[in-house]
Amino acid sequence: MDTTPAVRVRGLTKRYRGVLAVDGIDLEIARGQVFALLGPNGAGKTTTVEILEGYRDRDAGEVEVLGEDPQRAGRRWRYGIGIVLQDASDLTELTVRETVRHFARYYPAGRDPEEIITAVGLAEKAGARVSTLSGGQRRRVDVAVGIVGSPALLFLDEPTTGFDPSARRQFWGLIRSLAEDGTTVLLTTHYLEEAENLADRVAVIAGGVVVADGDPGTLGGRAGAQATVSWLEDGQQRTQKSHDPGALVADLTSRHAGVVPGLSVSRPSLEDVYLDLIGSTER
């Protein structure tokens, strides 16, 4: 088992016509990890990911993806990489089966196309033209193409944008099963819920820099932050922040002689932390 990180980035910098898009980013993604990259539009997420995918050249910094520099890596390196693009609208006239079979040919040892089609939940649509599929089904084709070479590292750029909630949950199941098989996943998303559900680790990018990087449960001091306790008293909503919500609840319980009406205790959500991190102006 390889113990070098799947992705290692140090001081990554990229300018477009003199404007800094990425300003010295450091990232490290361990093998087998599901890593979510969060950030508002224009934060530098897609630029960063496209540099890692070998689509763009960087201006400065060190980048190693599966042990190689994507800027110089060749076809062999691509055998280990799977890419699910954000806004592909190609392949419309081919059927799902033709598409997956075709892309399997690019790899010396591609997976069985039928098995992949079943894995992404499109077995019933295998003979249908891609142009006739729903948005969610289309993305599944993109994922099928991305994983047909059994990549060690899979890039997913905003994979569930435009999905309805049930399609999103199904899609998460698919990504989890890939992660269970040991695939390293780099996911960018706008949905905090998605990052919380899927990711082992989260980094937040804003203005071209990493503003936070950590476990989704503790990101931005989330676990240690004050909890908000709220309850009803004299028909009115009361809230109080506390470092020790247990004591406050015990106190309330004794005051109300048992049942505290409308009691809730909440920590800041990942979304609260996120919005705080990227600054309220970015909302």
Partner 1 sequence: MTATSTTSGPRARQGRAPSAAVLGLHRGVIELKCFFREWDNVAFTFALPIVLLLLLGSVFSGVYEGSTVTSAQYMVPSMIAAGIASATFVNLGISIAADREDGTLKRLRGAPMPPSAYFLGKIVMVLVISLLEVVLIVALGVVLFDTALPTEASAWFTVGWVFLLGVVACSFLGIAASSLARSERSAGAVMNLPFIVLAFLSGIFFTPIGALPDGLTQIGALFPMKWMGQGFRSAFLPDSILAQEIVTTSWETGRTALVLGAWCVAGLLLCLATFRWRGKRDR
Applying CB under 8 A, does 195 fall inside the site for partner 1? no
**Least Cβ distance, residue 154 to partner 1 (angstroms):** 12
Q: Given strand 60-65, what is the order of strands in its sheet?
A: 19-29, 7-16, 60-65
Amino acid at 54: G
Structure tokens at 259: 């049942």
Tell me the CB-side half-sphere exposure of residue 69, using CA atoms within 13 A: 9
**Least Cβ distance, residue 278 to partner 1 (angstroms):** 25
Applying CB under 8 A, does 182 fall inside the site for partner 1? yes
**Least Cβ distance, residue 48 to partner 1 (angstroms):** 16
39 vs 80 by CB, closer to partner 1: 80
Applying CB under 8 A, does 145 fall inside the site for partner 1? yes
**Least Cβ distance, residue 87 to partner 1 (angstroms):** 7
Q: Residue 95 has what DSSP assignment?
A: B
Applying CB under 8 A, does 68 fall inside the site for partner 1? yes
Binder among 11, 15, 26, 77 for partner 1 (CB under 8 A): 77
Task: Evaluate whether 234 touches 261 at the Cβ level (below 8 Å).
Answer: no
Binder among 108, 165, 224, 235 for partner 1 (CB under 8 A): 108
Rounded CA gap, 63 and 8, in Å?
6
Residues in contact with partner 1, shown as a per-residue x/- string from 39 to 58 under the rule CB under 8 A: --------------xxx---
Q: CB atoms < 10 A from the CB of 85, how many?
A: 19
Task: Evaluate whether 206 touches 39 at the Cβ level (below 8 Å).
Answer: yes
Per CB under 8 A, residues contacting partner 1 are 1-2, 4, 16, 31, 53-55, 66-68, 75-81, 83, 85, 87-94, 98, 102-103, 105-109, 129, 145, 149-150, 152, 182
